Chains A and B, each alone.
Chain A
Amino acid sequence: MICVKDLHKKFKTDSGVINVLNGITTNIKKGEKIAIIGPSGSGKSTFLRCLNRLEEPTSGEIIFDGKALNDSARSVNEIRRHIGMVFQHFNLFPHLTVRQNITLAPVTLKIKSQEEADDEAETLLERVGLLGKADVYPIKLSGGQKQRVAIVRALAMNPELMLFDEPTSALDPEMIGEVLAVMRDLAQGGMTMVVVTHEMSFAREVATRVLFMEGGKIVADEPPEDLFNCSQNSRVQEFLSKIL
């Protein structure tokens, strides 16, 4: 589904150039659930953001369904329709109700009529247990509810791939479960997912593959049972020993 070839990303700052990604090459196949783990600053989020071009790679290639993501705005907009993204800080639109948050993109892009989009929103909200919140503004929701709405908002575009950028990191502990449950549900439904996460149990349980990143590179790329139980990589061992 997505081929990533030798991806590099440099950030220019006042104190010089920082190399965030140093040559990432990987393939993501349809139906895979990939967890990306690693220490902070290792480039996990930047890599994820390159996948839907929220971040402009410095060099390298990303091919989505056989089409290269190039600079032209139209092609980027077109490909983003098929890639949903969930952010650490939810990024719900505060000036719109939950329902309007969900229907904004499909209606604006003329993929659905307002009625169709409303119906779809209700169906999706029911699935995550938030039908009763359709007409409230995001400020009235708890963090866990916000993130579930954010997931629904992305799903309303019927994406082929979902990107999650630390979806539970900004949540109070008691709310993490409800969000992970929705994601688990999604995974069981066959969605292709790439999840940057610190939830090792989720990675172990749901992921079909775990990428361990450090220093802008993929250091380990293994099924979770191998990576968590018997990884030969000393960096992975060190990281796991710190957090588990």
Chain B
Amino acid sequence: MWSLFYTPLSAKDVLSEIQERGFIRLATNAEFEPFEYIDGSEIAGIDIDIAREIAKRMGVGLEITDVKFDSLPAELVGGNCDFVLAGMNYSEEKDRNVDFSQPYFDAKQVVIVRKDNNSINSENDLHGKRIGVHLGTTGDLYCTEKFKDSEVLRLPNGTIAMLELLSGRADAVVIDNLPAKNLVAKNAGAVRILDESLFEEHYRAVVAEGSDLVYYLDSILSELKSDGTIDRITDKYASESPEFGSGFLNLIYRSLIYKDRYKSIFEGLYNTLRITCGAMVLGAIIGSIIAFIKLSKSKRLYMKVLDVLASIYLTVIRGTPLVVQLFVIYYLIFVSTSLSKVAVATIAFGINSGAYLGVVLQSGILSVDSGQYEAARSLGLSSKDAMIKVVFPQALKNIIATLCNEFINLIKETSVAGFIGIMDLSRAGDIIRTQTLDPFVPLLTVALIYLIIVAIVSCIVDIFERRLRRSDMR
């Protein structure tokens, strides 16, 4: 059900690589219940159980990566995973870049409407309406193509699409039938599925183009189909639909406590703090180097070259979106690395932050009267000592509020890390939201945590600033 636009690497002997490694790497997007979703703090779902069966029958372990669905093709093409199970369909366009297995599951695209809506009863009624779809799915492609006179709302996942439907901002939701069943079960009484489905599709496993893994997957998948394993797994997930009472306390219980969902929040908080602090340190180092280069009056050629490079760095980093920088660093620069995702994200955010900190530091140093540096030098201090002991402490006092701002921005910007599948604080909230269909408790919880972090940081900076300003008291 995904569309892919990436160019493949050359073919290789993936199978023996997996055997040698001892585990097979699956990439998926855990926002597609019941095929793949976060259950508590674990990824679960039909595709995940199928992947486990595949790994078992191959006699190897299974490693699962959860990324934003936009990133799945890049994971395959970049060689970060061996195969993708994410409810994908065959299409000619996609076939140029990746290879597909035989189908392992047959699905239909269905239409969900509110119960009180009697104006939509067939596909034709969708013309001129507001249709919620899951961005990048076949449902999205189909509706965008077919209903040009309608407003197609391309949303990040099916749950959000449902929220749009429930709140009346969308008239219908087009989505795969099995997730539709779960979504409707969670909102029993409010919505219904139209009898007429839009079209049928066949989910297939996907591998990098030319990978020999595809033949192996074909044989295992047909085995799983013929011995009833896939049916068993599907039945298991279709029947899971716990009942909750209504009311605010129940909502909190469902959002935070049931199935240990708070654990996602803690994991997200831990990652957010790790990335932010690491990036701030790295950014400070890079920023200092940049400020040093920009402020140097040296006429030597290599300093002039560095100055040009620093200017290019500042322009590129400050002139492009952070999420693009993260993608480039993760998928192009650190494509084959043993570094963890969190480490790569920290590097990416650090590089980004370095540009902003560099400019702040530069202006802070320029704000200190040149007589201070001269006085220090006239006493025989080296330029390094003069900067560290005389200029920098005064510059710091002038820029500390801006630095605090930068840190606060960084904390919140780390939410972009979710795009490469890191469970940060925002993504933890997103995932709980897709599970419970209630946007408010997880969102407000996450917001409250951000607020508390920022309040603590501001408080610490305040104390520090007051100490720096001691010398200003008359």
Contacts and interface: CB of A to CB of B under 8 A. Distances in A.
Contacts of A78: 380
B470 A154 contact: no
B379 A96 contact: no
Of A87, A92, A94, A97, most buried by chain B (CB within 10 Å of CB) is A94
A153 B379 contact: yes
Of B372, B385, B390, B470, most buried by chain A (CB within 10 Å of CB) is B390
Given A52-B378, A108-B381, A93 B390 contact: yes
A105 B379 contact: yes
Interface in B364-410: 369, 371-372, 374-383, 385, 389-390, 393-394, 397
Interface residues on A, range: 20 to 34
Interface string B420-462: 0000000000000000000000000000000000000000000
Interface string A81-116: 101110101011111110000001100110000000
A170 B381 CA distance: 25
B273 interface: no
Contacts of B394: 93-95
Contact of A81 (B369, B380, B470, B472): B380
Nearest to A92: B375
B372 to A, nearest CB: 6
A153 B470 CA distance: 21
A150 B390 CA distance: 15
B458 to A, nearest CB: 23
Contacts of B379: 80-81, 84, 104-105, 153-154, 157
Contact of A140 (B371, B397, B474): B474
Contacts of A94: 394, 471-472
A2 to B, nearest CB: 15
Given A91-B374, A108-B385, A80 B472 contact: no
Interface string B237-279: 0000000000000000000000000000000000000000000
Given A54-B374, A87-B375, A104-B389, A96 B380 contact: no
A65 to B, nearest CB: 15
Interface string A16-52: 0000000000000000000000000000000000001
B468 interface: yes
B378 A85 contact: yes
B380 A109 contact: yes
A54 B375 CA distance: 9
Contacts of A181: none
B82 to A, nearest CB: 57
Interface string B335-379: 000000000000000000000000000000000010110111111
A73 B383 contact: yes
B301 interface: no
Given A92-B375, A108-B385, 5 more contacts: A77-B380, A77-B382, A93-B372, A94-B472, A137-B472
Interface of A: 52, 54, 73, 77-78, 80-81, 83-85, 87, 89, 91-97, 104-105, 108-109, 137-140, 150, 153-154, 157
Q: Give me the 7 closest cross-chain CB pairs, A-B, nearest first.
A: A91-B375, A81-B380, A105-B379, A85-B378, A137-B471, A91-B371, A80-B380
